[in-house]
Every structure is written in structure tokens, then in C-alpha cells.
Amino acid sequence: MSLNRYEQILMNYLECHSEEKRFWEARVTEISRRGGRRESRALELNGILWEYFEERGRFESPFREVLIHEGDRKISMLNLSEYLLRMWAPPPQKKRGLC
């Protein structure tokens, strides 16, 4: 899967900050357990990740630089959302047959 540069900034940040990574692993797991379609969960996570990106932009250099140069228009985090759901969410339970 290919991440855009904004998604890659966020992923790199999480990889370098273990406490943040643990928080997001738990958040992704929570979202995945709510059920529903994978697409709707990815869209929900997409919005949450963008809000987090904006919030980090007030405090952390790589995020702040993006927001200064690119403005605050919403940037898609959908590829990262789908990737995190695939990597961190528990696998779906297989339905057992009647036989």
C-alpha cells in the first residue's frame, strides 16, 4: 500500500513515539470492534486521523510545516486508515458452518 506524504509523516511519528502508537493501536482496535462495514470504519478513522494531524500541527514540527505550507484544507488519510485497520485490528472471526 502506498501512503501519501502526509500519511507517511503521521506513520513515521507513530513509529517513533511508542506511547502514541499504543494509544492508536487501542483506538483502531476499538473502532474495528464496533462492527459494520470495513469501508465505514476506514472513513471514520480517516476523519479522526486528520483531526489528530491538525492537533499535532500546533505542537510538532513536521505537522506544523505541512499546515503552514499547505494550509488547513483537509487531506485524505484513507490509505493510512485502511492500512492501520489491516495491521492493528483483530482479524474477523470466521463463521462456523452448521455441519
Q: Per the structure, how many domains does the chain have?
A: 1
pLDDT tens digit sequence for 28-59: 999 999 888 989 999 999 999 999 999 999 88
- The yes-or-no verdict on residue 93 having pLDDT over 80 is no
Q: What is the structure's pLDDT at 96?
A: 67
pLDDT tens digit sequence for 52-87: 999 999 889 999 998 888 877 888 999 999 999 999
Pairwise CA distance, residues 57 & 68, whole Å: 9
Question: Which pTM value belongs to this model?
Answer: 0.85
Range of the domain at 40: 5-88
In a domain, residue 93? The reply is no
In a domain, residue 47? The reply is yes
Phi and psi angles of residue 56, each rounded to the nearest 5 degrees, phi first: -65, -25
In a domain, residue 41? The reply is yes
In a domain, residue 65? The reply is yes
Pairwise CA distance, residues 40 & 32, whole Å: 10
For residues 53 and 6, the answer to whether their CB atoms sit within 8 Å is yes
Pairwise CA distance, residues 27 & 36, whole Å: 16
In a domain, residue 42? The reply is yes
- The yes-or-no verdict on residue 99 having pLDDT over 60 is no
